[in-house]
Structure 1
């Protein structure tokens, strides 16, 4: 199980925002969550489970995916199911809790049998992805650290900490693997 993004500074500012950005009229600290989710930081993302690439270097709005992945944890715990969907297309990744494992299916190109992983592994990887994304974006653009949307993402990454998960606040450094 792996969710990773590849930063691309040339994709930080979405179309329609270039002139305002260059003129210094964009304050990342005050942009709405929707603007951050759909207008900025579109990076290649890899999302792989059991060797199946649900996303393979797909250009994806990073903040939107971080929110969706973060919220999927709550859906799995409260309803036993969740989805990761994309505003820019009809592709959907469905997550279903079966015992203590998460089963992943997709709206198209879904392998059989459906790949899966332990819930603890998904929770750890999801939190790592969100934490790494927030830390990267705030390091590159310090004004983001004052944006309420980033605070919401930090809260998503810190809730119901999984013991031993390297992304858990106060836990070991993230160099180690998530539980398998």
Structure 2
């Protein structure tokens, strides 16, 4: 079983250093850069579980960054058969590897003796659903984000053939 989800927290939408400028209208969500959105805004609890193993459990991460990272794993798995989910603030890494028509998950810390796996189709569908629900939530809660091209870029990463993965890598 694969589970990827987030828990919104409106108290963590805006980074502390930007709160005043945001309140004064000096920052517009429609024009925030991908870097700003990925590394400071909308930090929510993220859960990422595979086969009963929690790789992330209520870990607070910027939602846009996690969405981009997961979307890129789809491309990396397709292109090279492996991918990583890593974090700039620590050394934790989740490794993904195609094994036939399945994705095997290991990590730099506390991987079970038998690494959990899931069908590649399930992983692709879960990432696409996670990105779709994340984008929908952000646009619904902060309508100005609908105009930000970063969200279009994110949607494009998980759509069409580039957003999918095929098996048979090992």
Question: What's the TM-score, normalizing by structure 2?
Answer: 0.92
- Answer 1 or 2: which has greater helix percent: 2
| Contact 1:3–1:126 (Cα < 8 Å) also in 2 | yes
> Counterparts of 1:150-165 in structure 2 under 5 Å?
150-160=151-161
Q: Counterparts of 2:16 and 2:76 in 1: how far apart (Å)?
A: 32
Please state whether the residue corresponding to 2:14 is helix, strand or coil. Answer: coil
Residue matched to 1:117: 118
Deviations 1:84-127 (A, max 9, x none): 11112111100000000000001111111110100000000000
Q: Counterparts of 2:76 and 2:158 in 1: how far apart (Å)?
A: 14
Q: Counterparts of 2:22 and 2:89 in 1: how far apart (Å)?
A: 23
Report the alpha carbon displacement of residue 22 of structure 1 after superposing the two structures with TM. 1.2
Unpaired runs of at least 5, structure 2: 165-170
- Count, aligned residues: 162
Q: 4+ residue runs of structure 1 moved beyond 4 angstroms? A: none
Residue matched to 1:107: 108
Residue matched to 2:167: none
Question: What's the TM-score, normalizing by structure 1?
Answer: 0.87
Deviations 1:115-146 (A, max 9, x none): 01000000000000011000100111111111
Residue matched to 1:42: 43
Unpaired runs of at least 5, structure 1: 163-180
Please state whether the residue corresponding to 2:158 is helix, strand or coil. Answer: helix
**Per chain length, whose mean CA-contact separation is higher, i.e. which structure has more relative contact order (CA < 8 Å, sep 6+)?**
2
